[in-house]
Structure 1
Amino acid sequence: MATITIRAASVADTALLLALIRALAEYEKLAHECVAGEDSLREHLFGARPYAEAIIAEADGEPAGFALFFHNYSTFVGKPGIYLEDLFVQPAFRGLGIGKRLLAEVARIGVERGCGRYEWTVLDWNEPAIRFYQSLGAEMKREWIINRVSGAALNRLAQLAGPR
């Protein structure tokens, strides 16, 4: 049985994180949308104002997976929340409980920080992940629809704010 360790990512892990993110994008059939680079990851995860955090799972010292998360806020609960942006375990390391350990570690961090919620999304076609999340007590909130504005549409919407 492999020895599994979970640790906080550091700036030295930037290239590794990008490789794991690209592997996740391939798995999700979204590689064409993965335009992140090392410089932006380094700045946004480890720069002067970090926007997100990451943890890395290792199996016998080999990088096996990661979770990337950030805080949000629930006005209804009146507490911060934690949002899991990405969770990925490399295929060679699946079945060792690494995904569960990563999810649990983010939950532990959220509880430690006084968060009232832990949320994430899952692609509707990813039945293995849906079953896995439900087995851990996750509630599928199918009545909520994600809204996204990006690229040119984001710039057009920002223009509606007018001058500052």
Structure 2
Amino acid sequence: MTDSGHDITIRYLEPGDEAEWRRLWTGYLEFYETVLPDEVYRSSFDRMMQGNAGVANEYRGLLALVDGKPAGLVHYLFHRHGWKIENCCYLQDLFVDPAFRGTGLGRALIEAVYEKADAEGCPAVYWLTQEFNHTARQLYDRIGVLTPFIKYNRP
């Protein structure tokens, strides 16, 4: 149940979800002013289908349904870490359809990843966001801990 009283279900992505997943992920990418070729959409969805089926080192994806309607998604993966025995969980993408923001759905998606990580014996979950993503950071400040790390990319 969300803050607004709607029924929510969070479950693994399924093959029949591809069209709605594409709609949601396109919204996420548009926020970050990114356009990807169809080949990347196909590859990412296929990888998540494999990860959700238990293939190690593949991405996984969850879909949030509000009253049966796809309303949000989260992508994550597990990976080794040189400072830990257990794996870490990287929450790569999180998106809630604008019509469902402020309902608790973003928090529910993050908590669903926390639960999946706990089930895998993986206590460390982390994610990145852009500094200007003020709305999302209000949630992240309540559900996570801001670190002092700065990210660099290869030029």
Q: TM-score interval w.r.t. the shorter chain?
A: 0.7 to 0.9
* Count of equivalent residues: 146
| Counterparts of 2:101 and 2:17, CA distance in 1 | 21
| Counterparts of 2:123 and 2:67, CA distance in 1 | 34
| Counterparts of 2:149 and 2:132, CA distance in 1 | 17
Identity %: 26
User: Is the Cα–Cα contact under 8 Å of residues 18 and 36 in structure 1 kept in the other structure?
Assistant: no
User: Is the Cα–Cα contact under 8 Å of residues 77 and 116 in structure 1 kept in the other structure?
Assistant: no
Bigger radius of gyration: 1
Deviations along 1:63-106, one digit per CA (max 9) or x if unpaired, are 11010111112221221011111000000011111001000000
> Which of 35, 38, 45 is the matching residue for 2:37?
35
Unmatched tracts of structure 2, length 5 or more: none
SS in 2 for 1:103: helix
User: Is the Cα–Cα contact under 8 Å of residues 14 and 41 in structure 1 kept in the other structure?
Assistant: no
2:93 corresponding residue in structure 1:
86
TM-score (ref. length: structure 2): 0.84
Answering whether residue 58 of structure 2 is matched by residue 45 of structure 1, we say: no
Aligned CA-pair RMSD: 2.0
| Counterparts of 1:47 and 1:134, CA distance in 2 | 32
CA-CA distance at 1:47 after TM superposition: 4.5
TM-score (ref. length: structure 1): 0.80
The higher relative CO (CA closer than 8 Å, separation ≥ 6) is in: 2
SS in 1 for 2:80: strand
Answering whether residue 150 of structure 2 is matched by residue 147 of structure 1, we say: no
| Counterparts of 1:144 and 1:97, CA distance in 2 | 28
CA-CA distance at 1:18 after TM superposition: 1.7
Deviations along 1:94-126, one digit per CA (max 9) or x if unpaired, are 111100100000000101100131011011111
| Counterparts of 2:71 and 2:18, CA distance in 1 | 15
Unmatched tracts of structure 1, length 5 or more: 150-164
In the TM superposition, 1:8-157 aligns within 5 A as: 8-28=12-32, 30-32=33-35, 34-37=36-39, 38-47=41-50, 51-136=58-143, 138-148=144-154
